[in-house]
Amino acid sequence: MKRLLLPLAGAALAILAAAVVLNLFTVPPRHAGPTDLAASCPFRVVDRFGNGYGDDRWEVSFSVVEGREPDIRVHRDAGVRGPDGAATCRLDILRPPLPPVDGIDWRIGHKVVRLGDLRGKTVRVSTFLRAEPALQLSTGALYGYDGVQVPGVPIRELGPDWQEFAFTVTVDGAAPVFETWLRLVLSGTISGPGSIWFGDTRLTIDPA
């Protein structure tokens, strides 16, 4: 009987561990409510000639680790214009994760609604970023997700001049979703308090 119980106990522990890992990756991160970190930021879906539509709905998502909720303000900034001349969005980071907190994840993202326009197509996602004062993001990134792939480009340092960040991907033909995320930190650090502006954010279908 003891010989039988030992394997059963080991199997039970393995199932429990798998359940913990599954829960960690499938439970969505906590989303900010509309009164604190909801965002309405410029975003356009266009063809290579610049024709398309705008959809300004963004969501701010963050994990809560050791009670360290982010102290971030997100708002449209008409006083600072992007390279396209349009208003930008401003992220004011009042309390950065310093030192790094394992498991912390702060990001702002946009989910494209008209998936039929994207499936099987090559798309380019791009945005322009600047920061004051200059900031270092140890795990920053601009990335996408179509249910299968996670393409992206790292963002490590931002200063007062506009920098373009972009990635290109062929969207899965049966993609159930297409999301674009600007990640500020994932189990890493932001060098200090400051403000980040992003503008002229767009998804270009079949770029030249």
Q: Quote the pLDDT of residue 14.
A: 40
Given this model, what pLDDT does residue 8 score?
40
In a domain, 85, yes or no: yes
Pairwise CA distance, residues 148 & 152, whole Å: 13
Largest CA distance in the chain: 76
pLDDT of residue 40: 81
CA distance 185 to 192: 12
Report the pLDDT value the prediction gives residue 103, as an integer from 0 to 100. 82
Domain membership of residue 64 (yes or no) is: yes
Residue 10 lies in a domain: no
Give residue 142's domain range. Answer: 31-205
Res 160: pLDDT: 97
Check residue 38 and give its pLDDT.
54
- The answer to whether residue 105 sits within a structural domain is yes
Q: Residue 67's pLDDT is what? A: 65
pLDDT of amino acid 26: 29
Spatial distance between the Cα atoms of 178 and 93, rounded to a whole number of angstroms: 27
Give the Cα-Cα-Cα angle 82, 93, 31 (nearest 5 degrees): 95
Q: What is the pLDDT of residue 177?
A: 94
CA–CA separation, 108 vs 114, rounded Å? 20
Domain membership of residue 1 (yes or no) is: no
User: Given this model, what pLDDT does residue 102 score?
Assistant: 82
Q: Is residue 2 part of a domain?
A: no
- Tokens (6 digits) for 143: 């990335």
| In-domain check, residue 175 | yes
Amino acid sitting at position 71: D
Q: Which regions of the chain are under pLDDT 70?
A: 1-38, 64, 66-70, 208
Domain containing residue 57: CATH number: 2.60.120.260
The per-residue pLDDT for 37 is 52
| Number of folded domains that form the chain | 1
| Residue 44, in any domain of the structure | yes
